[in-house]
Amino acid sequence: MAEKQFTVIDEAGIHARPASVLVSTANKFQSDIFLIHKGRDVNLKSILGVMSLGIGSGEEFAIRAEGTDAEDALVELEKTLQNEGLAK
């Protein structure tokens, strides 16, 4: 299992376009991947799940991956967050 904390830096928060990019990236991996925010965790491979959290600018969240390629998934998702200017 791998987990990492992030803070949203995009002024619009995690809205539809970046959420779809994250979901697309997560779906490249076999591991179960979760987005965790305010005690709730959702499947990061589900756009509806991600959008249901309503994560705004300045808020903290975590990504947890469980499975054979969990470390690789977390590294790739972190790169995606940074490249999209979404979180640090």
d(C-alpha 29, C-alpha 45), whole Å: 10
State yes or no: is 37 an active-site residue.
no
- Of 15, 72, 76, 78, which residue is the catalytic one? 15
> In this structure, what are the phi and psi dihedrals at residue 75, rounded to the nearest 5 degrees?
-60, -45
Cβ atoms 70, 36 nearer than 8 A: no
d(C-alpha 76, C-alpha 57), whole Å: 22
Instruction: Give catalytic residues, as residue numbers.
Output: 15
